[in-house]
Amino acid sequence: MCGQHHKSEKQTIELRPAYTWTCDNCGRDNYQTLYMFPDHFVTNLCEEIKSTGETKDLVIELWPMSVICCHCQTGFEVESVY
């Protein structure tokens, strides 16, 4: 059953952000891993933002500009959900 741990020792994994979307053509779900930036990129970006004083309520969201269904190969442009 999903969510149950059957081994006595604790195991760890790394969770990665991902997007999920449903194909309008075939109706099947797709999953796309989010690109992960290297630590130095994030550190430099944070330092640059802090130097401008624009850090209050800062949220950085990234998503692909287009996707292709892995089941039927139909391509779509991506709309922001915000």
The owner of tokens 């391509």 is 75
For 3, 4, 61, the CA distances from 27, given in Å and listed in that order, are: 26, 30, 26
Chain-centroid distance of CA 32 in Å reads 7
Report the alpha-carbon distance of residue 32 to residue 22 in Å, rounded: 11
Q: Give the start-to-end residue ranges of the domains of the chain.
A: 18-77
Report the alpha-carbon distance of residue 31 to residue 46 in Å, rounded: 28
pLDDT of res. 18: 85
Q: What is the pLDDT of residues 35-79, one digit of tens each?
A: 777 788 878 887 877 787 765 666 667 788 899 999 999 999 998
